Structure 1
Amino acid sequence: MHPTQEQAFAVYFADRQDAVRRSAYLLCGDWHRADDVAQTAFVKLHRSWDRVRDKGALDAWMRRTVVRVVVDESRRPWRRERSTEVLPEPVVDTVDPGEAMGTRELVLAGLRKVPPRQRAVLVLRFIEDQDVASTAAALGCSEGTVKSQTARGLSTLRAALETDGEVVGRG
């Protein structure tokens, strides 16, 4: 890779590293796994950097790559781990302490109970604030699939939140 391209990649990496890691965390629910997913996505981008024609579409390319990496990882047999109530080590959260409220934790716990594909749709639509068309492009599916997966994902999330003792308004 040419030094100017390497510099452009380094600038993009520095600017977007935290956002990509945060999106990966919302998709997989584990900071350690999110680090691995973000690293894998950036490695894929680095390998393809000279072939990317539209540098303005890098965020969309990274969103799609992160979603694909998370879904691919969830299909691998060694990723079929069970969650436990007691964590072996404390989770270090880099988010502002003001945001770490009970509702946030409740929603994140509920998201962990949503299947990976539906979780990807929910994160892209409501956390990343993508429209139906952008979400469909990132996931490589039709807009109708995004709509149905959104409805199913929201239903699953509501059910998970209701079983945890909290009833979330449907609005």
Structure 2
Amino acid sequence: MRRIDSGPDPVAAVPPPPPGTPPRTLADLYNDHRLRLVRLAVLLVDEPTTAEDVVQEAFAGLHRNWSGLRDEAAAVAYLRTAVVNGSRSVLRRRRTARDYVPPHTVTARSAESLAMLSAEHQAVVDALATLPPRQREVLVLRYYGGMSEAEIAEATGISRGTVKSTASRGLDTVAKVMAARASGR
């Protein structure tokens, strides 16, 4: 823990305890300073519940570092600094959340473009139906299933070379069938 200089503090000077009094406890500091610290935090973060959370965190930090403090004045200075820093963190998180711009989302397609896309998909499905079963299987696994040549070879029980040549022949046939349908033959 970094020790805070306990020089004069005009905002909240804590007089030294009278001689012969027992040392103050964390509970005493909490009872004496919590409300003032919450008011300070409310002025910084504009939300009472968030301000109370900030002050609670400051007291939790003081509790963790209680053995390293010199005196009550250092404890109050520690709390005040922790509240200000905690409030700054809250404001920084708010600003980050406010400035966040979600990634660009794709706009919805028009009904016309969906109909055309559906017609194109149907043409591809019709062209696939004309293929021999092995070619259709390889093309479906590759382009609709997103599988690699090695995965297709393993799934179908054929070699990678056969997968490559079968896919090539299938694509050629699909292209010819779609071109013939587009030209009206």
TM-score range, shorter chain: 0.3 to 0.5
Q: Which of 1 and 2 has higher RCO (CA within 8 Å, sep 6+)?
A: 1
TM-score between both structures, scaled by the size of structure 2: 0.37
TM-score between both structures, scaled by the size of structure 1: 0.40
Larger radius of gyration: 2
